[in-house]
Amino acid sequence: MNFLELAKARYSVRSFKKDDIEESKLNDILEAGRVAPSACNKQPQKIFVVKSEEARAKLASVCRFTFDAPVVLVVCYDKERSWQNDLMPGYNSGETDAAIVCTHMMLEAWEQGISSCWVGWFNADEIAKALSLPENFCVCSLLPIGYATDDAAPTKLHTRIREFDDTIAFM
């Protein structure tokens, strides 16, 4: 499968089997995030791999969108490491960098036969507190991953894609 086929085939899964993810596959997914591009190559990302039953319960207590996945990747950036744009006061590349990292991992997971769902609906402060994350880390997204249940299917929204000319403008 080429990249465009992979990108079109991938969809958000919200129903996972209890099966563990093989360590080699999980490591490949994490490696895809590690090598993702970042502004000025600052690499501010930090991925917290939530696997233990205790850690997953803590996370689920403050976010209902973990979908009982066997692993949840908590994608963060380090405020002390991310690039600051002097031409745009207040701009911090950390959130964009973390989004790129998350995308890399999500697509690598799909190629490995592992499903995921990009989650952005949560209170970052509550997650940081529940998981005792260091203060300099900002939680950007959650990526529950695992093997999809047999009845998992894309939602109706998955196939609703705006027209090419509505999203692209040549100048």
Q: For 79-104, write each residue's pLDDT tens digit.
A: 999 999 889 988 889 999 999 999 99
Q: If you average pLDDT over residues 149-167, what whole number do you get?
A: 90
Structure token digits, residue 128: 């940081």
Q: What is the pLDDT of residues 36-83, one digit of tens each?
A: 999 999 999 999 999 999 999 999 999 999 999 999 999 999 999 999
Q: If you average pLDDT over residues 113-135, what whole number do you get?
A: 97
Nearest to 62 by CA among 142, 127, 156, 150: 127
Q: What are the sequence ranges of the domains in the chain? A: 10-162
Residue reference for tokens 């973390």: 98
Structure token digits, residue 36: 């993702």
Quote the CATH superfamily of domain 10-162: NADH Oxidase (3.40.109.10)
Nearest to 15 by CA among 83, 66, 50, 59: 66
Residue type for position 125? D
Structure token digits, residue 108: 């690598």
